[in-house]
C-alpha cells in the first residue's frame, strides 16, 4: 500500500493509529488509501478499497472540499445505524483527504431532545428505501454493487424494466399503477430469495445485485423472474391485467467501476427492448458499439436539424397510363457533408427510437407546407411519412392543421403516409390522428399495406383515403407468381371501399404492364423516377410539376431500393 499523498511514513503511522477514519481519494473520489478505522467503517480492507468510489460506498459524502456533512447510513458491523460527520479538504490538486467521525451518540441525543417524533429506523428507511415499494433505493443499490466489486468476488447485475408500464398509468390512472408496482416489487423480492440485493432504481426499473454469480446462473435468475411476472395477473382498480419485463444482464469482476457495470446492464436491457421485449439479454461488447453508433448518429441528425443540413427529396408518383405525375412522396436525407455518409436506412431507425423523431416529423411537415405556400400550383401535391412514435404526439395533428390554416394551403395538397405496422401497434392513436386530418381535408394513406396481420380488419377501423401496396407483392408481379392473385384482391377491395391505390418498388417495364392489367393506376419506383432534391423540383417552371419524368431504362445489377432509400 502506498503512503498517503502529501505525507510520509510518520504521517501514515499516526493516521493508522487513530480511532477516527481517514481516507484519501483522487479528484474523482476513487480511494487511494484508507486507515484501519476507515476500513472497519466501510467493511473493507485497505487493498480492497483502492480504486473504489468513496461517494458510492458512503452515499452523501461530499464530492469536493467541504467543512462538515452529516451522513446517515447503516452500520456495516450489523448495528442499526450510524451518524457520521464527514469533512473533506484538498491535499493537493489531485487528492482529497476525508475525515470521518462517528457522531451517532451526540446526534441521537440531539434528536431525542428535540422530540421530533421520528424513530431512528424510520430515518434509515427514508434514506435507504424506495418510499413506494419499500425496496432498497438507488443509493442503497449503488453501495451494494460497489461493495461487491471491492470484495473481488465478482457477480452480475440484473436490470429489469416493466414493458409498456406507461399504458397502465395512462389507461387506469397512477394510483392503479402504484398498486401494480408494489405487487410486482413483492413478487420479485419473493421469487429472488435471500443472498441477493433487489431494489428499485426509479420509475419502472428494478435492479438485482447477484454476488458470486456467473453468467449462466444470472441468466437463470433473470428468466425465473421474467417468467414469474408474465404468469401472474396483477389486480388493479379496473380488473386484472398482465405485464412482462425485459432484462439486461452484466457480469462483473473486481476491476470494473459500478458506473461501467450499470451502463453495460443498461445497454443489454436496451437490446432486450429493441428485440421485442419480454426477454433476457446478456451484455456483449457489440451492444456498446451499436449504442455508440446510435448516439453518434443521433448527434449528427440533431446537429443537422439545428444547422439546416437536413433535406427532402421528392419521389414522383406516376399514372401508369399516360405517365402524368400526380404527386410526390417526400423522403428525408442527411446532407451534413460528414463521413461516413449515412443513408435513411442507417439513421432513420435510430431517430425513430428516440424523442428526436417528434422534431423531425414536424420539420418535414412544416417544410412541405412552406414549399406548397411558395408554389401555389394546385397540381403540386406532397405525401409525407409519419413515424410510429409521432402517433403518440397528441399535438401533431393540431400542429399540421394550424400551419396549413396560417399558410392558406388547401389541405388536400398534403397527404400523410402511416405504415400498417405502426398503425397496428398504436391503433387508437393512428385512428385519432387520421380522423382529425381527414376531417379537415388531408389525405391519409396506409403504407406497406399487406405487410402485417389482419390487414383487412384495419381497413374497417382506420379512416384512410388510400393504401400503398407493400413492395414485396410488387417485385415479382411480372413473373406470374401468387403475388398477382394477392394484388388483384387488394385492388378489388380498395376499389369497393372507394380507396386510391399506389404500388411501390416498380423497377421494370414489365411490372408496369402487369400492374396495369390488374387495375393499378398509380405507382412509384426507380423505373418511373428516382428521388430528386425537392429544391430541384421546385426550380421547374410553373405547371411542369406534373410532367412525366424521362422513363428510365431497366437498372442492371441495382439492388432493390425501399421507398426510404
Q: Note whether residue 207 is domain-resident.
A: yes
Q: What's the confidence (pLDDT) of residue 115?
A: 59
Q: Is residue 2 part of a domain?
A: no
Q: Which position has the grid cell 426509479?
A: 202
pLDDT at 12: 64
Boundary-marking domain end, from 285, 320, 336: 285
pLDDT value, residue 4: 60
Same domain, residue pair 264 and 309: no
Same domain, 267 and 307: no
Which residues of the chain fall below pLDDT 50?
1, 237-238, 453-454, 551-565
Same domain? For 246 and 383 the reply is no
Q: Enter the pTM of the model.
A: 0.55
Nearest to 360 by CA among 331, 328, 317, 381: 331
Question: Phi-psi category of 117—alpha, beta or left, where left has phi over 0 and alpha has psi -120 to 50?
Answer: left
- The domain in which residue 200 lies consists of 129-285
CA distances from 518 to 489, 491, 511, 526, 563 (A): 9, 8, 11, 20, 22
Q: Are 423 and 458 in contact (CB under 8 A)?
A: yes
Does residue 149 belong to any structural domain of this protein? yes
CA atoms within 13 A on the CB side of 225: 29
CA end-to-end span of the chain = 60
Does residue 465 fall inside a structural domain? yes
pLDDT score of 555: 34
Q: Which residues are within 8 A (CB) of 94 and not within 5 positions of it... i.e. 6 or more apart?
A: 5, 26, 27
Quote the pLDDT of residue 77: 63
Q: Is residue 83 part of a domain?
A: yes
**Domain boundary residue among 234, 251, 285?**
285
pLDDT of residue 556: 38
Q: What CATH number corresponds to the domain at position 52? A: 3.30.450.20
pLDDT the model gives residue 178? 84
DSSP, collapsed to helix, strand or coil, labels residue 468 as: strand
Within this chain, do residues 301 and 440 fall inside the same structural domain, yes or no?
yes
Q: Do residues 99 and 177 share a domain?
A: no
Q: Which CATH number belongs to the domain containing residue 456 in this structure?
A: 3.20.20.450
Asked if residue 448 and residue 349 are part of one domain, the reply reads yes
Helix (H) or strand (E) holding 401: helix 396-407
Helices (H), 232-335: 258-274, 285-307
Short-list 141, 229, 135, 137, CA closest to 182: 135
Residues in a beta bridge with 11: none
Same domain, yes or no: 84 and 158: no
Show the beta-strand stretches assigned E in 82-126. Answer: 82-92, 95-102
Per-residue pLDDT at 453: 41
| Residue 563 counted as domain residue | no
Domain boundary among 246, 264, 285: 285
Say which residue the cell 458506473 belongs to: 259
Please report the pLDDT score of residue 107 as a whole number: 77
User: What residues contact residue 303 under an 8 Å CB cut-off, 6+ apart?
Assistant: 309, 336
Q: Could you tell me if 337 and 413 lie in one domain?
A: yes
Query: Among positive and negative, which fits the CA dihedral 561, 562, 563, 565?
Result: negative
Same domain, 196 and 315: no
Set of cell numbers at residue 133: 415499494
Shared domain for 242 and 369, answered yes or no, is: no
Beta strands 31-34 and 66-73 are unpaired
What is the DSSP secondary structure assignment for residue 136, as one 8-state letter? Answer: B
pLDDT score at 559: 37
CATH number, residue 186: 3.30.70.270
| 156 and 207 Cβ atoms separated by less than 8 Å | no
Q: What is the reported pLDDT for 224?
A: 93
321 and 447 part of one domain: yes
Number of structural domains, the chain? 3
The answer to whether residue 192 is domain-embedded is yes
Same domain, 393 and 479: yes
In a domain, 255, yes or no: yes
Amino acid at each position: 500500500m502506498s503512503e498517503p499523498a502529501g505525507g510520509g511514513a510518520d504521517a501514515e503511522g499516526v493516521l493508522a493509529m487513530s480511532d477516527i477514519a481517514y481516507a484519501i481519494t483522487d479528484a474523482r473520489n476513487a480511494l487511494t488509501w484508507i486507515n484501519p478505522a476507515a476500513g472497519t467503517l466501510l467493511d473493507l480492507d485497505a487493498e480492497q478499497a483502492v480504486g473504489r468510489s468513496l461517494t458510492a460506498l458512503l452515499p452523501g459524502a461530499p464530492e469536493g472540499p467541504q467543512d462538515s456533512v452529516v451522513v446517515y447510513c447503516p452500520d456495516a458491523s450489523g448495528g442499526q445505524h450510524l451518524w457520521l460527520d464527514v469533512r473533506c479538504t484538498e491535499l493537493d490538486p489531485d487528492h482529497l483527504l476525508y475525515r470521518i467521525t462517528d457522531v451517532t451518540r451526540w446526534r441521537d441525543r440531539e434528536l431525542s431532545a428535540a422530540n421530533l417524533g421520528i424513530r431512528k429506523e424510520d430515518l434509515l428507511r427514508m434514506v435507504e428505501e424506495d418510499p413506494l415499494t419499500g425496496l432498497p433505493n438507488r443509493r442503497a443499490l449503488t453501495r451494494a454493487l460497489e461493495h461487491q466489486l471491492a470484495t473481488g468476488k465478482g457477480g452480475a447485475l440484473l436490470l429489469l424494466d416493466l414493458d409498456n408500464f406507461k399504458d397502465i398509468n395512462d389507461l387506469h390512472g397512477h394510483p392503479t399503477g402504484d398498486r401494480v408496482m408494489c405487487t410486482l416489487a413483492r413478487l420479485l423480492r419473493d421469487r429472488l430469495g435471500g443472498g441477493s440485493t433487489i431494489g428499485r432504481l426509479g420509475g419502472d426499473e428494478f435492479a438485482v445485485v447477484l454476488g458470486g454469480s456467473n453468467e449462466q446462473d444470472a441468466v437463470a435468475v433473470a428468466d425465473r423472474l421474467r417468467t414469474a411476472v408474465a404468469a401472474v395477473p396483477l389486480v388493479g382498480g379496473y380488473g386484472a391485467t398482465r405485464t412482462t419485463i425485459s432484462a439486461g444482464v452484466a457480469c462483473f469482476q473486481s476491476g470494473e467501476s459500478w458506473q461501467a457495470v450499470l451502463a453495460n446492464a443498461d445497454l443489454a436491457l436496451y437490446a432486450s427492448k429493441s428485440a421485442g421485449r419480454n426477454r433476457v439479454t446478456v451484455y456483449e461488447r457489440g451492444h456498446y458499439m451499436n449504442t455508440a453508433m446510435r448516439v453518434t448518429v443521433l448527434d449528427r441528425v440533431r446537429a443537422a436539424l439545428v444547422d439546416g443540413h437536413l433535406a427532402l427529396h421528392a419521389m414522383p408518383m406516376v399514372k401508369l397510363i399516360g405517365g402524368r405525375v400526380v404527386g410526390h412522396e417526400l423522403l428525408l436525407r442527411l446532407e451534413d457533408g460528414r463521413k461516413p455518409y449515412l443513408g435513411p436506412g442507417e439513421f432513420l431507425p435510430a431517430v425513430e427510437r428516440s424523442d428526436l423523431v417528434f422534431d423531425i416529423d414536424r420539420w418535414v411537415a412544416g417544410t412541405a407546407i412552406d414549399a406548397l405556400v411558395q408554389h401555389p400550383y394546385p397540381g403540386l401535391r406532397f405525401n409525407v411519412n409519419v413515424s410510429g412514435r409521432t402517433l403518440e404526439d397528441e399535438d401533431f395533428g393540431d400542429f399540421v392543421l394550424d400551419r396549413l390554416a396560417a399558410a392558406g394551403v388547401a389541405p388536400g395538397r398534403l397527404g400523410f403516409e402511416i405504415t400498417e405496422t405502426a398503425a397496428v401497434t398504436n391503433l387508437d392513436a393512428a385512428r385519432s390522428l387520421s380522423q382529425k386530418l381527414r376531417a379537415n381535408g388531408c389525405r391519409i394513406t396506409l403504407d406497406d399495406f399487406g405487410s402485417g396481420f389482419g390487414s383487412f380488419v384495419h381497413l374497417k377501423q382506420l379512416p384512410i383515403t388510400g393504401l400503398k401496396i407493400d413492395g414485396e407483392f410488387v417485385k415479382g408481379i411480372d413473373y406470374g407468381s401468387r403475388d398477382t392473385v394477392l394484388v388483384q384482391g387488394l385492388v378489388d377491395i380498395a376499389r369497393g371501399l372507394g380507396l386510391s391505390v399506389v404500388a411501390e418498388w416498380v423497377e421494370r417495364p414489365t411490372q408496369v404492364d402487369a400492374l396495369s392489367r390488374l387495375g393499378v393506376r398509380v405507382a412509384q419506383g426507380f423505373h418511373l423516377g428516382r428521388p430528386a432534391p425537392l429544391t430541384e423540383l421546385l426550380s421547374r417552371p410553373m405547371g411542369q410539376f406534373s410532367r412525366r419524368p424521362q422513363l428510365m431504362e431497366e437498372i442492371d445489377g441495382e439492388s432493390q431500393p425501399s421507398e426510404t432509400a
